[in-house]
A and B are shown apart, each in its own frame.
Chain A
Amino acid sequence: MENNQTEPKLEQNQHKKPMSLFHKAILTGFVGGVFWSGLASLAYYFNFMEVSHASFILRSFFNGTWTQGLLGEVISMVIVGVLSIGTALVYYLFFKKRGGMLPGILFGSVLWIAFMYFLNPMFEAVPLFSDLKMDTVITSICLYVLYGTFIGYSISYEYENIQLASSNKGKSSQNAG
């Protein structure tokens, strides 16, 4: 009881504290994965791309009819969301200190090269890179870049904010002292 009474401020501070950067990265990763893969499904539906994320995740490994159509896309969207937590954590671990949007754009481009070019042979349902239509290439690179920006900018902006807040706090406590 006494402890609680002597440190009411601490408790308040805990209330005020926004979500930690780690949790935020996980959340951003999941939402980013689901949102941008949803857009990719839309682009696939309108034939802007001849492959979708479901071609990578489901159709390369399973043969059922459920991998086609809306059901396949939705299942694969959720899976992308979960996998995307991993990429967000990679960004969180290595690049969170890089401010601005450029690192995110580069991050997305690197992911694109990795999946569409180097890992391409792993996925049966995806045509070879050289066989892909130009529309597909452009659309997928754009989506990857936007996805990378989404993840990267969100995490680095939040990191910046937390740094700023803690440095402000330091200043005010110095003044008080």
Chain B
Amino acid sequence: MENSQKVKVSEKIKQNQDYMKEHIGIGVSFDLGYRKLTILKKEIDIYYLTGLCDTSVIVEIMKMLVDINDVESNQRKLPEIIENRLVHQQVTRVKGMDEVVDQLLSGLIVIFVDGLDEAFVVDVRKYPGRGPKEPDTEKVVRGSRDGYTENIIENTALTRRRIRDERLRVEIMKVGERSKTDVCLMYLKDVADDGLVDLIKNEIENIEIDGVSMAEKTVEEFLVKQGYNPYPQVRYTERPDVASAHLFEGHVVLMVDTSPSMIITPTTFFHHVQHAEEYRQSPAVGTFVRWARFLGIFASLFLLPLWLTFVMDPSLLPKGLEFIGPNEEGNIPVVLQIILADIGIEFMRMAAIHTPTPLSTAMGLIAAVLIGEIAIQVGLFMPEVILYVALSAIGSFATPSYELSVANKMSKVFLVIVVAIFGAKGLVAGLTVWLLLLASMKSLNTPYLWPFIPFDLKGMIQILFRVSVPLTKRRLSVTHPKNNYRQPPS
């Protein structure tokens, strides 16, 4: 590798041919090829990667090149003539062979001219991909329906459509020794915290790996180093409006080529419980929706442990709530019922992801009607267990962030087990430990439970209520924005 990095484009076109044959396997790999042209009695080679370039553009360029034979005669000025005739806005001259190879494999065409120690690289890329489509995971009733795609260039375009600011910075880096994946860092220069931008840039530059085929997830793991902590430390979004809203707030958005999910940093727990839909409705409705969602998330976490506590010690129940708890003990301990039912729901969830749509209706029928009904009749589960497990499952589906809902599920199982062992004491102690652990987490130097612990009144109000936009004059302090105001202070 060391050697090849020093190789320069040779004046002798034969040497270049040999290099290409040896290094990228022209003639072996079927999708790489070259076309020989003779222009003013000199040989010109055009190298291409069939899958990734736009043939119509190449044909157009070749027409212009061949035309040179008819209208020009000055052989000595051939390189300049050719450069002029490359009718495309993105033409660069490249000296190093390794860069030539990199560009060729990204889908650009490379043109060698006999007698010239440089190569022309023309950006005629056209990547296979889909058009912008509303992301499945973040649907809204009203509002824009475009979503990020797998193409990083399209993604920057979608963001630029929303932020035409001259101060928007879009820095690109390459990650992966072999995959050479493009990673792009987006931020507002005069708002985002310099320290944060530098920190992220450093972390990305320090990634040394052969390839990042799982794109943004792999990059995230290098970035936040969360180990076995299940709680998500960055927020993902596939919606350009959400990403630009965060850019305005002073967040840094990371996009990785081949993935439609953008990474938003830094994030706290409460970033994961908000949803674009709330900002598409009036503040009152948005607040209502948000509180309903909070209740759902709350239920997905605490309902089962709390109910189990009351089942184990009915004396805890205050007057008027004595009806809670089973009328007759089942055949299996309640804890086991809860855990079994919960695992059952987990089966269903996983199966629903992999099952093709025609089969999933049948699957839902079997799962819901047969298992639910019959498990009770057989005496495996108590009806109340099914009710609370279902409620908590629905609550977890109402969590806007998929990552958070899974992490909450794990915490719930932990709490259920602690309650089963220690009862009410276990619930309180378990909750305390859970809260303290969450509060001690830091994602890119941002406390995870901000604005709750450490407390910040303004931030907390914006979490608890969907505040109307004209009233939110200041940016939240969590990103340490360099410019505090979104609207001129009155």
Residues of A within 8 A of B (CB): 15-16, 18, 27-28, 31-32, 43, 45-48, 101, 105, 134-135, 138-139, 142, 145-146, 149-150, 153-158, 161
Contact = CB atoms under 8 A, between A and B. Distances in A.
Residue from B428, B447, B489 whose CB has the most chain A CB atoms within 10 Å: B428
18 contacts: A16-B484, A18-B477, A28-B455, A48-B427, A101-B436, A138-B428, A139-B424, A145-B436, A146-B432, A149-B439, A150-B453, A153-B453, A153-B454, A154-B453, A154-B454, A154-B456, A157-B454, A158-B454
B256 to A, nearest CB: 30
B436 A138 contact: no
Contact of A15 (B424, B432, B489): B489
Interface string B320-358: 000000000000000000000000000000000000000
Contacts of A153: 439, 447, 453-454
Q: Is the interface of A mostly helix, strand, loop or mixed?
A: helix
B439 A101 contact: yes
Contacts of A105: 436
B128 interface: no
A31 B316 contact: no
Contacts of A158: 454
B440 A47 contact: no
A139 B439 contact: no
A-B pairs, top 3 by smallest CB distance, nearest first, are A157-B454, A142-B432, A154-B454
B318 interface: yes
B457 A149 contact: no
A155 B453 CA distance: 10
B425 A149 contact: no
B435 interface: yes
A108 B453 CA distance: 14
Given A135-B424, A142-B429, 11 more contacts: A31-B455, A47-B315, A47-B316, A48-B316, A105-B436, A134-B425, A135-B428, A145-B436, A154-B453, A154-B454, A156-B454
Contacts of A161: 477, 480
B421 to A, nearest CB: 13
Nearest to A46: B316
Nearest to A151: B455
Contacts of B436: 101, 105, 145-146, 149
Interface residues of B, number: 26
B88 to A, nearest CB: 43
Nearest to A19: B457
Contacts of B455: 27-28, 31-32, 150, 154
A142 B454 contact: no
A153 B425 CA distance: 25
A98 B447 CA distance: 16
B289 interface: no
A63 B165 CA distance: 66
Contacts of B431: 142
B476 to A, nearest CB: 11
Contacts of A48: 316, 424, 427-428
B317 interface: yes
Interface of B: 315-318, 423-425, 427-429, 431-432, 435-436, 439-440, 447, 453-457, 477, 480, 484, 489
Contacts of B457: 27, 31
Contacts of B456: 154
A36 to B, nearest CB: 11
A12 to B, nearest CB: 9
B425 A138 contact: yes
A66 to B, nearest CB: 19
B477 A146 contact: no
A45 B317 CA distance: 8
B434 to A, nearest CB: 11
Contacts of B318: 45-47
Contacts of A157: 447, 454
Nearest to A153: B454
Contacts of A135: 423-425, 428
Contacts of A149: 436, 439, 453
A161 B431 CA distance: 28
Contact of B440 (A27, A101, A138): A101
B454 A46 contact: no
Contacts of A28: 455
A49 to B, nearest CB: 9
Contact of B428 (A18, A27, A139): A139
A113 B457 CA distance: 29
A176 to B, nearest CB: 15
A101 to B, nearest CB: 5
A161 B478 CA distance: 10
Contacts of B484: 16
